[in-house]
Structure 1
């Protein structure tokens, strides 16, 4: 079997080595290690491989805490120490900024990180009857597979939810529609643990009795989802507190439906919002845009500062929820919400929203390239960009710096998903009038040179 020295980690947490001119991505290998590996996918320029034996181990290698590590696909970096995980993600951010955007941040912020276990307050679990494995399975998929992992615990889930995995197996296996209930979505609020059952067939009265008894015994709330996410409704108990999470630093509480997007890691989200607001520095009298605002995670803290906030989101349902949250927190007079597809933003559609002193951008993995391209001469003087994909952040940052006249003042990682390779980050951009003028002059000169060249050819 071939051996190699691991140079670094890629964005999926795989070790990178090289063999006869090809790049080899090695699952389970860490930087600095010498490993023996076997390839399971071969392409002309690269191969995917699995580590077979660690010949020389990294000082950062640790014993994975979870008994299902390596089988379950829920996380891939438990064999790397917590400090090294954060450092590796910082390198991924720096590498993407340079290789994809040709940028180096003027400052790299101290990484945001917190508890490495029991942090996951949102999850989507699969349920499947597998007689060969003893019956009903409830858990995440196996690595690189559509099979459901045989899980008894999940250490990334809060302990009280991890303890429900085996009782949920028994519950789902006892339902008349056990073969027609493929998914359980978890959503935890400050006072409620909700389980959304995706049901493809109606429940029987006996099924309903089983759910009620389970909810009473384990202090959870069941929702039923017969079709798409919007069809989810509260089944039992009907009374009691609603799902919500709070941001105590800003005296804000967000209410949400279990199928609506919220951050997975509530503790880290509180620190993230604090960091974002410190960088944005909202002031009374300013008009600030919150792009991809969702249900108001950043909007309401900005509004609490006294600024006027315009939240833009593509989902009418989330905009409605965001408006309800603004009213519930006494901030409706400082917040405006609008529905717009920011993936199709144009200079005209952005200008129609009016002048913004500052802007916060928090897009999904696809990034916000059309939005940043649409920024015109009336540019916000400061942009805080919260990213869940360092590659699209780097792409969009290049547009802001090379085409729009911004400086990349700083960037840093947020370890929202410990033990996984997922990298969240935050970046600060400040408008530089001199840089913008230089870009405009260069563009004008290029245009003029093109016109002159065309005229000369015509002559």
Structure 2
């Protein structure tokens, strides 16, 4: 048999097109030869020259090579790694336009999947647009061809690690740590066996969690201690799963906490606990959610996916009693501890439960609640919504506030509550928790309307997503 010749990769096809819209990932959308083209780095109203990098029968993907006619919404990206690093998708777009894109995406999904228009769209919630990210997971990898140790977010649509020397969505003091932290990891005896560093910033405390696949030598531990002292960093070690996370040196109270200033609440947490990345917008979001529930002092409130009590404790300051359910035993414990810390232990209860398994009989067994707050992960709260609409009317709350981190699953759950159940979607709006990214956080408010008639079946809704 003859040898196969190594063929040089084909040059990408270059096209010119007008950008008609922009998708939630920050890609411009246009058409070439009757095919939809998603163009990285392009904005609505622009004409660009782009290189096609992926072809499919019904669509193609391309990368902007030259902007022939620029949009007034285009701004200069602040981070030098933008375009390669996958941490941000929209730094080239004006901030107000970013929020407008997210708001439109929310409205479109609510209509297309949920078949509902909110009676009122709330004004988007803004917070800091730079230096806001108080939680992050950075990948570490030693790559000889790229000069040694890399530490950062993944590159766009890739498992490769972006070469990051600074990051403007991280707090400035953390961005300043990237270079010395990368050098520290390279100096460890097991530098090829440290796959990630997790970051958690609290009030006056910066914690770093080092994931290590082999035991650290005593010399490594000393290097970590010296780095921690030099840069005011608190080191935690993670030899295996999240349950193995522990302080490098036992200093008693680890003091990692954040504040919810609007309610005078202090929340203690461990660096691997789920907390909102943007502390200032979290405070505003909690305040809005509590306000939207329209609480009375004698209300009984249910907080589902309650975590460490981020919403539960503020709710308890405005109501008679709050019961929280959460699927993580560690977070249930932490929530109870935070209630005690804030003097709210007599007004709260926290329970361990997998909320993806709850059905109507169990829902009713929890008792009657006037108001419900739901704050699920990206998978949404389909089973909870089904349990609510399947319960008898006395166990259906009068008002529900749903905090979502995925507009598609929110829209699906809207369909359950409003098209199968007796609820109106009275308000919805975007919370810009993650500026410059494609992440959409939102809040929706539901009011019970006993006169509503079903317009869909559960089966038709579950087939949508």
1:204 to 196, 202, 217: 217
Counterpart of 1:328 in structure 2 is: 341
Counterpart of 1:119 in structure 2 is: 132
Residue 433 of structure 1 pairs with residue 450 of structure 2 = yes
Counterpart of 1:139 in structure 2 is: 152
Deviations 1:227-246 (A, max 9, x none): 01111001147256511111
Deviations 1:280-318 (A, max 9, x none): 122211111111111110000000113311101111111
User: What is the RMSD of the two structures over their aligned residues, measured on CA atoms?
Assistant: 1.5
Residue 308 of structure 1 pairs with residue 321 of structure 2 = yes
Counterpart of 1:17 in structure 2 is: 30
Moved more, 291-300 or 8-17: 8-17
- SS for the counterpart of 2:168 is coil
Residue 66 of structure 1 pairs with residue 79 of structure 2 = yes
Distance in 2 separating the partners of 1:23 and 1:76: 20
Deviations 1:110-142 (A, max 9, x none): 111121110000000111112222221111111
Distance in 1 separating the partners of 2:396 and 2:16: 53
Distance in 1 separating the partners of 2:265 and 2:384: 28
1:178 to 179, 187, 191: 191
Residue 282 of structure 1 pairs with residue 299 of structure 2 = no
Counterpart of 1:214 in structure 2 is: 227
- SS for the counterpart of 1:230 is helix
Distance 1:307 1:44, change over 3 A: farther
Distance in 1 separating the partners of 2:273 and 2:415: 31
1:336-375 correspondence runs (5 A): 336-375=349-388
**1:327, distance to aligned residue in structure 2 (A):** 1.0
Q: Is the CA contact 2:300–2:319 (under 8 Å) kept in the aligned structure 1?
A: no
Residue 391 of structure 1 pairs with residue 408 of structure 2 = yes
Q: Is the CA contact 1:106–1:410 (under 8 Å) kept in the aligned structure 2?
A: yes
Q: Is the CA contact 2:136–2:198 (under 8 Å) kept in the aligned structure 1?
A: yes
Distance in 2 separating the partners of 1:137 and 1:316: 35
Task: Write out the 4+ residue segments of structure 1 that deviate beyond 4 Å after TM superposition.
Answer: none
Q: Is the CA contact 1:191–1:241 (under 8 Å) kept in the aligned structure 2?
A: no
Counterpart of 1:446 in structure 2 is: none
Distance in 2 separating the partners of 1:293 and 1:143: 32
Aligned residues: 440
- SS for the counterpart of 1:343 is coil
Deviations 1:76-116 (A, max 9, x none): 10000111111111111111111111211111111111211
Distance in 2 separating the partners of 1:18 and 1:171: 48
Q: Is the CA contact 1:192–1:241 (under 8 Å) kept in the aligned structure 2?
A: no
**1:171, distance to aligned residue in structure 2 (A):** 0.7
Residue 412 of structure 1 pairs with residue 429 of structure 2 = yes
Counterpart of 1:233 in structure 2 is: 246
Q: Is the CA contact 1:105–1:411 (under 8 Å) kept in the aligned structure 2?
A: yes
2:398 to 376, 381, 394: 381
Counterpart of 2:107 in structure 1 is: 94
Residue 166 of structure 1 pairs with residue 172 of structure 2 = no
Q: Is the CA contact 2:206–2:234 (under 8 Å) kept in the aligned structure 1?
A: yes
1:293 to 306, 311, 315: 306
Q: Is the CA contact 2:15–2:52 (under 8 Å) kept in the aligned structure 1?
A: no
**1:23, distance to aligned residue in structure 2 (A):** 2.0
**1:50, distance to aligned residue in structure 2 (A):** 1.4
Q: What TM-score results when the alignment is normalised by the length of structure 2? A: 0.92
List runs of 5+ in structure 1 lacking aligned partners: 444-459
Moved more, 1-10 or 105-114: 1-10
Distance in 1 separating the partners of 2:195 and 2:298: 50
Distance in 2 separating the partners of 1:240 and 1:384: 35
Deviations 1:181-230 (A, max 9, x none): 11000000112100000011111111111111110000010000000111
Distance in 2 separating the partners of 1:313 and 1:237: 28
List runs of 5+ in structure 2 lacking aligned partners: 1-13, 458-465
**1:349, distance to aligned residue in structure 2 (A):** 1.6
Counterpart of 1:448 in structure 2 is: none
- SS for the counterpart of 2:39 is strand
2:441 to 420, 424, 435: 424
Deviations 1:324-382 (A, max 9, x none): 11111111111111111111221112111111111001011111111101112221010
Moved more, 292-301 or 41-50: 41-50
Distance in 1 separating the partners of 2:31 and 2:130: 34
Residue 152 of structure 1 pairs with residue 176 of structure 2 = no
Distance in 2 separating the partners of 1:11 and 1:346: 33
Distance in 2 separating the partners of 1:104 and 1:20: 34
- SS for the counterpart of 1:267 is helix
Counterpart of 1:192 in structure 2 is: 205
Distance in 2 separating the partners of 1:324 and 1:249: 20
Distance in 2 separating the partners of 1:44 and 1:317: 48
